[in-house]
């Protein structure tokens, strides 16, 4: 069989898409820097900020153009909204008159359903909702991504590509966003709480605070890397540290006596319920 030689396609490269970050605070800046490190040109990025000094800071630091929200709505193909949830209504009022319905709107705001955006923007605007977490600031985020009613698989991929610049991503149906918020959105706080408590234990056992802190933080990092990289079930990893009649099992018995497992299950259920309440506007 003869191989057919296709004629070289006579196409020009698609124009790079312009992405705007609106409300460029901590999370917005982490995403901006992730996109630049991922190869996006600052010329294809826009930012908005409420305070002129913040806009100047972003211009100097990243070489990006700072514009008004209305200007970003007119010029950007993709808009990433990273204002606080309580500022979102006002931001959407500013955007709605200028935003064509074919632009992708990605919300990074905790707890606001896609319907909130769809009700306030032109009919059929594609909206993607993302719940990330603070480790985005060190490129170790978990970002949980859901499509609104007009968002396609291609829109989800675009959001994934942006959030992959600051960590891992996972797609879930929007109905599971409250559960994801309880696990990964609030998740880092549970680990900080455990480190704080275990550092206190170290002090009780006679260690200086900074040493106790370093020992526990390194144990946490070591355990996290083992969990991520070994592919082993956590029970297996724990059993490897739990020798018969040893020290670890004595501690585990205390944890079970105090209902720590049940407390964690209830705690995450409470976080899920609170997320649901906030999302339904009963804040
Ligand atoms: N940090 C977290 O733990 C975390 C985790 C997951 C998700 N999130 C979500 O990420 C979003 C951002 O959180 P963040 O911690 O990055 O907050 P942040 O640092 O306060 O950033 C929000 C930024 O938006 C600016 N802003 C507010 N209204 C504006 C408007 N109309 N136009 C332009 N800029 C405006 C604020 O300006 P000012 O500086 O003047 O206030 C601020 O710089 C929130 O919706 C939050 O739910 C946060």
On whether both 168 and 268 belong to a single domain, the answer is no
Residues 80 and 171 in one domain: yes
Give me the domain span that covers residue 173.
19-177
Q: Which H or E element spans position 246?
A: none
pLDDT of residue 16: 72
Residues 201 and 157 in one domain: no
**Residue finishing a domain among 177, 205, 236:** 177
- Contact call for residues 50 and 23 (beta carbons, < 8 A): yes
Domain co-membership, 173 together with 222: no
Q: What is the pLDDT of residues 151-196, one digit of tens each?
A: 999 999 999 999 999 999 999 999 999 999 999 999 999 999 999 9
Same domain, 120 and 204: no
Q: How far is the C-alpha of 282 from the C-alpha of 51, rounded, in Å?
A: 30
Per-residue confidence (pLDDT) for residue 5, from 0 to 100: 43
Which residues of the chain fall short of a pLDDT of 50?
1-8
Q: State yes or no: 69 annotated in a binding site.
A: yes
CA of 29 to the centre of ligand 1 (A): 10
Considering the domain architecture, whether residues 37 and 152 belong to the same structural domain is answered as yes
CATH label of the domain that carries residue 87? 3.40.50.720
Is the same domain home to 159 and 24? yes
What is the distance in angstroms between the CA of the first residue and the CA of the last residue of the chain?
69
Sheet holding 141-147, edge to edge: 65-66, 45-48, 19-22, 78-81, 104-107, 127-131, 141-147, 167-171
Distance 108 CA to ligand 1 centre (A): 9
Three-class SS of residue 257?
Answer: helix
Helix (H) or strand (E) holding 115: helix 114-120
Same-domain pairing of 169 and 209 = no
In a domain, 87, yes or no: yes
Are both 131 and 63 inside the same structural domain? yes
Model pLDDT, residue 282? 59
Residue 11 maps to a domain: no
Are residues 169 and 39 part of one domain?
yes
Q: What is the dihedral of CA 248, 249, 251, 254, to 10 degrees?
A: 170
Query: CA 145 to CA 171: how far, in whole Å?
Result: 5
Does 258 lie in the same domain as 160? no
User: What pLDDT score does 278 carry?
Assistant: 84
- What pLDDT shows up at residue 280? 77
Q: What is the C-alpha to C-alpha distance for residues 86 and 112, in angstroms, rounded to an integer? A: 10
Residue 58's closest CA among 23, 86, 107, 90? 23
Instruction: Clarify whether residues 248 and 215 are in a common domain.
Output: yes
Q: In the numeric block, which tokens belong to residue 112?
A: 């606001």
> Which of 127, 153, 177 is the endpoint of a domain?
177
**Does residue 4 form part of some domain?**
no
A 10 A CB-CB count for 72 gives: 27
Report whether 19 contacts 77 (CB < 8 A): yes
Helices and strands (DSSP H and E) totals, the chain: 12, 8
Give the Å distance between the CA of 156 and the centre of ligand 1: 22
- Closest ligand 1 atom number to CA of residue 30: 16
Count of structural domains, the chain: 2
User: What pLDDT is attached to residue 131?
Assistant: 96
Tell me the chain's radius of gyration from C-alpha atoms.
23
DSSP three-state, residue 21: strand
Domain boundary among 155, 177, 199: 177
pLDDT, position 12 = 61
Q: Which residues line ligand 1 (CB under 6 A)?
A: 22-23, 25-28, 48-51, 54, 69, 82-85, 87, 90-91, 108-110, 132-134, 185
DSSP 8-state assignment for residue 2: P
Q: Look at residue 279 in the predicted model and tell me its pLDDT.
A: 79
**249 vs 265: CA distance, rounded Å:** 21
């Amino acid at each position: 069989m003869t191989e057919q030689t296709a004629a070289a396609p006579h196409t020009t490269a698609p124009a790079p898409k312009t992405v705007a970050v609106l409300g460029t605070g901590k999370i917005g800046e982490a995403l901006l820097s992730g996109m630049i490190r991922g190869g996006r040109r600052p010329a294809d990025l826009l930012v908005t900020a409420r305070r002129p000094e913040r806009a100047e800071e972003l211009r100097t630091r990243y070489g990006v153009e700072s514009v008004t929200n209305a200007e970003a709505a007119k010029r950007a193909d993709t808009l990433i909204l990273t204002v606080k949830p309580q500022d979102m209504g006002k931001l959407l009022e500013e955007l709605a008159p200028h935003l064509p319905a074919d632009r992708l709107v990605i919300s990074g705001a905790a707890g606001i359903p896609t319907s909130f955006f769809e009700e306030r923007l032109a009919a059929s605007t594609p909206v993607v909702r993302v719940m990330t977490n603070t480790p985005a600031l060190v490129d170790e985020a978990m970002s949980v991504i859901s499509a609104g009613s007009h968002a396609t698989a291609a829109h989800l991929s675009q959001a994934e590509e942006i959030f992959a610049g600051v960590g891992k991503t996972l797609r879930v149906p929007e109905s599971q966003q409250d559960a994801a918020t309880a696990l990964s959105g609030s998740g880092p706080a549970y680990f900080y709480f455990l480190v704080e408590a275990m550092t206190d234990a170290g002090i009780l056992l006679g260690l200086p605070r900074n040493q106790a802190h370093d020992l526990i933080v390194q144990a946490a990092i070591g355990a996290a890397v083992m969990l991520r990289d070994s592919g082993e079930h956590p029970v297996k990893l724990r059993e490897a540290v739990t020798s018969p009649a040893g020290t670890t099992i004595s501690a585990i018995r205390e944890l079970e006596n105090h209902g720590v497992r049940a407390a964690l299950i209830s705690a995450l259920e409470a976080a899920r319920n609170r997320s649901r309440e906030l999302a339904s506007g009963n804040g």
